Homo-oligomer: A and B are copies of this chain.
Amino acid sequence: MGNRQLSQKTAKLYEQIADHVAGLIDGGTFRPGERIPSLRQLSTQKRVSVSTVLQAYSLLEDHGLIEARPQSGYYVKTKSPYSCPEPEISTTVSDPTEISIQELTMMVMHDLFNPNLVQLGAAAPNPAVLPTGKLNRILASLTRRKGDFGIQYDIPSGYKDLRVQIARHMVKAGCSLKPGDIITTTGCIEAIDLCLRAVCRPGDTVAIESPTYFGILQSMEAMGLQALEIPTHPRDGISLEALGFAIEQTPVKACLVISNFNNPIGSCIPDEKKKSLVQLIGEHEIPLIEVDVCGEIYFSEPRPSVCKAYDEKGLVMLCSSFSKTIAPGYRVGWVTPGRISSTIEWLKFTSSIATATFPQLALAEFLDRGGYEHHMKRVRRTYAHNVARMSEAVVRYFPEETRATRPTGGFLLWVQLPKSVDSLVLYKQALRSGITLSPGDMFSSTRRYRNFVRLNAACWTDEIERAIARLGDLIKGQIN
């Protein structure tokens, strides 16, 4: 870089090209995590030298819009729209606590299904990216071809062809599963429930992330389990130091993590850290219940691995579902229970006999030949785009002290509001403006997220932008 004496004209050319590419990114042609044209492609298209494009791309890198990846090319930076800091990590390991957030979740639940509200609350996927037409054609055809089979009880472990497909698709996440290692369930939450039933007795303590999905807290409350909330970083997940410390201090019976694109915090445990986590629980022979419902919704390649991939002892019980990616209304999930497979199969039998038959048949066919990868590319692109748009809007409309997560997958934002804001008050004010959201207190048994909210960023419309702006006003109103 000795020769930095560029003529006015050359500098202008760099900027023109940089502006052109920035325009494509802003306009949504290339979205966070997507590859932009190669140096050679753009040099051909714009009739300039490769080194000119290189200079232009360097400018964009300096502005934090794109990033180079070795031997791969240039990508739109997934962090680009985030100009507010990430939420703080919760700091203390508290004592195990009993869980009681019933009243709060009941109130919120009713709004979640009110079609007259702007739905920033429930973690429902965007209806526009569900493969509705294809699945319906498959289901209709199945009623003719497998009608007798579809009406009857399936076996407790679930439909074999579906389990074959699950095993195949999980290779990408680093797993070597056999269909016999998998048991299908009524959504992911049944899978989690069966695992907790299998390894815990009432009164036992389970180490969980803080914050975590309220359905998990509820399951635990119903079984009389104690939650030990472990600090969890919004980027790389559960603190292993805190978890290790907790295991030494408390008789922890099981550990439960949402390893990829956590609900609500968006964290994705890096591969190396996943290995360390599996080693840690292995040393103490503590079963790990791992949830991966959003693992397929990554904004940039590669698909993140799962802890199960590093599990040599059979201690990891991986739970997932198709509710966030293909068909929420089908209520089909699955679990690979590792060494306690037969116990889980038996619990499945006694707690629901088997998973509904037709939804399993339809999913098996869709995964086999419904264009799953094509479908998922569209899902990932849409969510990356919408999460970025909502993040930008949060920066634009919420007060300056706001912090927000920078998820690299999934479709949820976890937002830390200024300390004086009470998200429950905000929730009630928002309702009067026709907006629903999930207040932070739903995601902990200790009420430590009073000034947090979870926003569903699966959809992005003008109406939603206005809702974010309105929320911003309400929040500012609480501060002033």
Residues of A at the B interface (CB closer than 8 Å) are: 102, 105-106, 109, 113, 122, 124, 127, 130, 132-133, 135-137, 139-140, 143-144, 147-156, 186-187, 189-190, 193, 197, 201-203, 214-215, 218-219, 222-224, 323, 327-331, 342-343, 345-347, 349-359
Checking B144, B151, B202, B218 against A347 with a beta-carbon cut-off of 8 angstroms, the contacting residue is: B218
Checking B224, B323, B350, B357 against A215 with a beta-carbon cut-off of 8 angstroms, the contacting residue is: B350
- A193 CB, min distance to chain B CBs, angstroms: 7
Q: Which 6 residue pairs across A and B have the least CB separation, nearest first?
A: A202-B202, A218-B350, A329-B357, A202-B224, A136-B147, A136-B143
**Given contacts A102-B346, A109-B156, A342-B106, A351 and B218 within 8 Å (CB-CB):** yes
Q: A109-B349, A133-B147, A153-B323 are in contact. List 10 more A-B contacts (CB 8 A).
A: A102-B343, A102-B346, A113-B156, A136-B143, A150-B329, A153-B328, A187-B353, A203-B224, A219-B350, A330-B356
List, in ascending order, chain B residues with CB within 8 A of A113's CB: 153, 155-156
**CB <8 Å contact, B124 and A152:** yes
**CB <8 Å contact, B140 and A152:** no
Copies per complex of this chain: 2
Measured CB to CB, the nearest residue on chain B to A197 is: B222
**CB <8 Å contact, A222 and B223:** yes
List, in ascending order, chain B residues with CB within 8 A of A143's CB: 136-137, 139-140
| Complex-state Cα separation, A203 to B148, whole angstroms | 43
| Complex-state Cα separation, A363 to B461, whole angstroms | 36
**CB <8 Å contact, B351 and A193:** yes
| Complex-state Cα separation, A224 to B147, whole angstroms | 40
* 6 A-B residue pairs with CB within 8 Å: A106-B342, A136-B151, A329-B358, A330-B356, A331-B356, A358-B359
**Given contacts A222-B351, A351-B193, A132 and B148 within 8 Å (CB-CB):** yes
| Complex-state Cα separation, A345 to B106, whole angstroms | 8
Interface centre among A130, A133, A323, A330 (most CB of B within 10 A): A330
| Complex-state Cα separation, A270 to B153, whole angstroms | 31
Checking B109, B122, B151, B219 against A346 with a beta-carbon cut-off of 8 angstroms, the contacting residue is: B109
**CB <8 Å contact, B151 and A329:** yes
List, in ascending order, chain B residues with CB within 8 A of A357's CB: 329-330
List, in ascending order, chain B residues with CB within 8 A of A354's CB: 329, 331
- A335 CB, min distance to chain B CBs, angstroms: 14
List, in ascending order, chain B residues with CB within 8 A of A353's CB: 187, 189, 215, 323, 328, 331
| Complex-state Cα separation, A223 to B132, whole angstroms | 38
List, in ascending order, chain B residues with CB within 8 A of A135's CB: 147, 151
| Complex-state Cα separation, A375 to B4, whole angstroms | 87
**CB <8 Å contact, B358 and A330:** yes
- A317 CB, min distance to chain B CBs, angstroms: 16
List, in ascending order, chain B residues with CB within 8 A of A203's CB: 202, 224
| Complex-state Cα separation, A189 to B354, whole angstroms | 11
| Complex-state Cα separation, A150 to B143, whole angstroms | 15
- A359 CB, min distance to chain B CBs, angstroms: 6
List, in ascending order, chain B residues with CB within 8 A of A328's CB: 151-153, 353
**CB <8 Å contact, B219 and A327:** no
Measured CB to CB, the nearest residue on chain B to A106 is: B346
List, in ascending order, chain B residues with CB within 8 A of A153's CB: 113, 122, 124, 323, 328-329
| Complex-state Cα separation, A199 to B127, whole angstroms | 36
- A300 CB, min distance to chain B CBs, angstroms: 28
List, in ascending order, chain B residues with CB within 8 A of A347's CB: 218, 222
Measured CB to CB, the nearest residue on chain B to A107 is: B346
| Complex-state Cα separation, A106 to B342, whole angstroms | 8
- A372 CB, min distance to chain B CBs, angstroms: 15
Checking B105, B127, B144 against A148 with a beta-carbon cut-off of 8 angstroms, the contacting residue is: B127
Measured CB to CB, the nearest residue on chain B to A203 is: B202
**CB <8 Å contact, B136 and A152:** no
- A458 CB, min distance to chain B CBs, angstroms: 12
| Complex-state Cα separation, A127 to B342, whole angstroms | 28
- A341 CB, min distance to chain B CBs, angstroms: 11
| Complex-state Cα separation, A153 to B331, whole angstroms | 8
